[in-house]
């Protein structure tokens, strides 16, 4: 039984805002380091969880995701490789205080949660139980079962994405990098509101990790994260709709094959250290990120500067 006297069912059992218990000694704890979880899974399951596929959720993501294909788990990590969110889905049986959440019709699960007094906030993708630390993804197509259960440390229900009301400015289509600082226009440590005055309206939100607030400027190809004092702690350059460029020492970095970019940088004396779905230019304080597996033909999806990295 858990500390509330509720009997644990065989499978994964939700510990609100903490993680999952069961299935593996020590469970899965939010905030845990990626390598520790990798080692624990290997010791407990061997290859039973199937291939571990690593990917980035979006081009601007500074952290990685590990998908255990046969185990029904996707683990989301921040830039420091700490677990910040996890998703569990069939075939993983997931329970909360004895109530099965996966493998059952979505509408029935939602009704059962409401009967037990849980506050639920619904949207087009499913619902969130913000006081219990999990969300449910609604089914797609003919299958009416819960598609996925997600666990978080910080609910985003109270912090929706909104657009600020600054006056629009001319689009920035070219960024030139400054070693260790950012770009010629945007530097680590700058004030959020000063940047707003220069860059115009932003989509503002509170991210689940990486800072206290975030501004996304799709036209400029910038995703900016700020600390509690509204100082810039990370900037990511990527374009998801309009095209744009990012230059360092006359090498154009974005949307070109990773191998070509690395080769050109190295001819100019810039060393690129290989990492998971990334190339780290440590001497100059930035990272080249990829979305898929480490195929050298994959294009560079984004360039990221992280304070303290």
DSSP string computed for 71-88: TTEEEEE-TTSBEEEEEE
In 3-state terms the chain splits into helix, strand, coil percentages (rounded to 5) of 15, 35, 50
Report the pLDDT averaged over residues 283-308.
86
* pLDDT the model gives residue 26: 87
pLDDT at 219 over 90: yes
Tell me the domain boundaries of the chain: 12-152, 162-306
Report the pLDDT averaged over residues 249-271.
96
What is the DSSP pairing of strand 278-281 with strand 73-77? Answer: unpaired
Q: What is the CA radius of gyration of the chain?
A: 21
* pLDDT the model gives residue 142: 60
Tell me the C-alpha distance between 265 and 250, whole Å. Answer: 9
Q: Which two tokens stand for residue 81?
A: 């490789």
Largest separation between any pair of C-alpha atoms in the chain:
65
Chain mean pLDDT for the chain: 90
Answer whether 0.85 is exceeded by the pTM. Answer: yes
How sure is the predictor about 59, in pLDDT bands with cuts at 50, 70 and 90?
Answer: confident
What is the DSSP pairing of strand 245-248 with strand 174-178? Answer: parallel
Q: Which helix (H) or strand (E) holds 248?
A: strand 245-248
What is the DSSP pairing of strand 121-123 with strand 94-96? Answer: unpaired
Q: With pLDDT > 90 as the criterion, what percentage of the chain qualifies?
A: 67
Strand-by-strand arrangement of the 94-96 sheet: 28-29, 19-21, 12-15, 94-96, 99-100
* Least trusted range by pLDDT, from 46-55, 235-244, 295-304: 46-55
pLDDT at 244 over 60: yes
What is the DSSP pairing of strand 162-163 with strand 12-15? Answer: unpaired
* Least trusted range by pLDDT, from 7-16, 37-46, 233-242, 246-255: 7-16
pLDDT at 21 over 60: yes
Q: Which two tokens stand for residue 14?
A: 């939700």
* Least trusted range by pLDDT, from 61-70, 182-191, 249-258: 61-70
Q: What are phi and psi of 178, to 5 degrees?
A: -115, 125
Output DSSP code: residue 33: B
pLDDT at 1 over 60: no
Q: Which residues pair with 274 in a beta bridge?
A: 279
């Amino acid at each position: 039984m858990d500390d509330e006297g509720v009997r644990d069912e065989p499978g994964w059992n939700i510990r609100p805002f903490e993680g999952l218990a069961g299935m593996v000694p020590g469970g899965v704890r939010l905030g845990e380091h990626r390598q520790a979880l990798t080692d624990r899974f290997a010791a407990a399951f061997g290859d039973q969880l199937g291939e571990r596929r690593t990917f980035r959720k979006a081009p601007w993501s500074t952290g990685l995701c590990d998908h255990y294909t046969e185990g029904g788990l996707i683990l989301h990590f921040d830039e420091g490789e700490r677990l910040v969110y996890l998703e569990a889905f069939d075939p993983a049986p997931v329970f909360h205080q004895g109530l099965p959440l996966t493998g059952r019709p979505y509408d029935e699960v939602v009704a059962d949660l409401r009967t037990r007094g849980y506050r639920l906030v619904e949207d087009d993708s499913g619902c969130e139980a913000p006081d219990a630390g999990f969300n449910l993804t609604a089914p797609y197509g003919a299958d009416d079962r819960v598609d996925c259960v997600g666990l978080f440390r910080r609910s985003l229900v109270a912090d929706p994405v909104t657009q600020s009301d600054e006056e629009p400015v001319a689009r920035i289509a070219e960024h030139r990098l400054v070693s260790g600082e950012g770009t010629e226009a945007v530097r680590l440590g700058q004030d959020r509101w000063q940047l707003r005055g220069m860059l115009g309206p932003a989509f503002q939100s509170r991210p689940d990790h990486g800072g206290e607030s975030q501004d996304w400027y799709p036209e400029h190809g910038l995703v900016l994260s700020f600390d509690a004092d509204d100082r810039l702690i990370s900037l990511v350059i990527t374009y998801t709709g309009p095209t744009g460029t990012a230059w360092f020492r006359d090498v154009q970095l974005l949307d070109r094959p990773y191998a070509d970019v690395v080769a050109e940088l190295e001819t100019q004396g810039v060393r690129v250290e290989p990492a998971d779905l990334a190339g780290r230019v440590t001497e100059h304080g930035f990272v080249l990120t990829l979305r898929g597996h480490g195929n050298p033909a994959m294009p560079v999806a984004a360039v990221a500067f992280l304070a303290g990295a």
